[in-house]
Amino acid sequence: MTTLDDETIIVTGASRGLGASMAKRFAREGANVVLTARSEPELQEVADAADGEALVAPADVTDEREVRAVVDATVDEYGTVTGLVNNAGIGLLNMYGERSVLHEVDTDDFRRILNVNVTGVFLFSKHVVPTLIDAERGNVVNISSGLGRRGAAKWGPYVASKWALEGLTRTQAAELADHGINVNALDPGGRVQTGFWDHLPASEREDVLAPDVMDDAATALLAQGPDGITGESMPADEWAQRL
């Protein structure tokens, strides 16, 4: 049975949806879980509902000073970091309830999506990885999407961000392999009950997956040792067959 005893894991975008579900699962499996997102009240609700150790550390993933403060608070509280789940992400659909062809996307919106979905991953990885290197072990799990492997009309900014995430995952996996650190990408494999799909009528929500769809795979990825799988990207059900 997979457990996360002795692991300390930072989860971004942990205030709701996939992030909240994964964070509560990690705590239940014995990990020290650090919850980060912008909304402190929502994070506190997740922490209160967690059956295990959870630290609330609010931050904007695009603000390097705040990101560094989360990592510092984690080390101060638990002595180390052994896992990072880069889950925070946005798109036009959850921002406005609609999509847009690329040439009509507002420039500021494009930059905001790339900043959260790519720069946020870079910043947390930048400040967590040195701690993992010191520990000579650890796991980074980047939450991707099927749209990180194909194009889709009216999804331009999100597609661009997830393709970038896929490249960052493979690059960092190659850079960190000699340090015993695994870096992988995980996606739910379909639409999930998150803010992205709040606009859908009830009749179209029947095939929407529950927020816990990635919990098993994410737990198994974070439990990997230094000789684990690295540099791979798969939906949750495919990871379940590999781990």
Confidence of residue 211 (pLDDT cuts 50, 70, 90): confident
In a domain, 216, yes or no: yes
Q: Supply the range of the domain harboring residue 32.
A: 8-242
**Three-class secondary structure of residue 123 per DSSP:** helix
Q: Which of 28-32, 98-102, 108-112, 193-197 is least confident? A: 193-197
pTM reported for the whole predicted model:
0.92
Q: What is the CATH number of the domain that holds 101?
A: 3.40.50.720
Q: Which of 19-33, 37-51, 119-133, 190-204 is least confident? A: 190-204
158 is catalytic: yes
Per-residue pLDDT at 104: 81
**156-176 helix and 120-135 helix, angle to the nearest 10 degrees:** 20
Q: What are phi and psi of 36, to 5 degrees?
A: -135, 140
Q: Looking at the predicted structure, is the pLDDT value of residue 243 above 80?
A: yes
Query: Into how many domains does the chain fold?
Result: 1
In a domain, 3, yes or no: no
Q: Which position among 78, 158, 196, 239 bears the catalytic label?
A: 158
In a domain, 210, yes or no: yes
- Mean pLDDT of the chain, nearest integer: 90
In a domain, 52, yes or no: yes
In a domain, 44, yes or no: yes
**Three-class secondary structure of residue 159 per DSSP:** helix
Per-residue pLDDT at 200: 56
**16's tokens:** 């709701």
In a domain, 146, yes or no: yes
Confidence of residue 172 (pLDDT cuts 50, 70, 90): very high
Per-residue pLDDT at 230: 98
Confidence of residue 198 (pLDDT cuts 50, 70, 90): low
Q: How many CB atoms lie within 10 A of CB 123?
A: 25
Nearest to 84 by CA among 143, 29, 37, 39: 143
Nearest to 11 by CA among 84, 70, 61, 92: 84
**Amino acid identity, position 132:** L
Q: Is 101 exposed, middle or buried (0-12, 13-18, 19+ CB in 10 A)?
A: exposed
Per-residue pLDDT at 47: 98
Per-residue pLDDT averaged across 199-228, rounded?
A: 81
Confidence of residue 208 (pLDDT cuts 50, 70, 90): low
In a domain, 2, yes or no: no
In a domain, 1, yes or no: no
Instruction: Give the tens place of pLDDT for each residue, 40-53.
Output: 999 999 999 999 99
Q: Is the dihedral of CA 109, 211, 182, 53 positive or negative?
A: positive
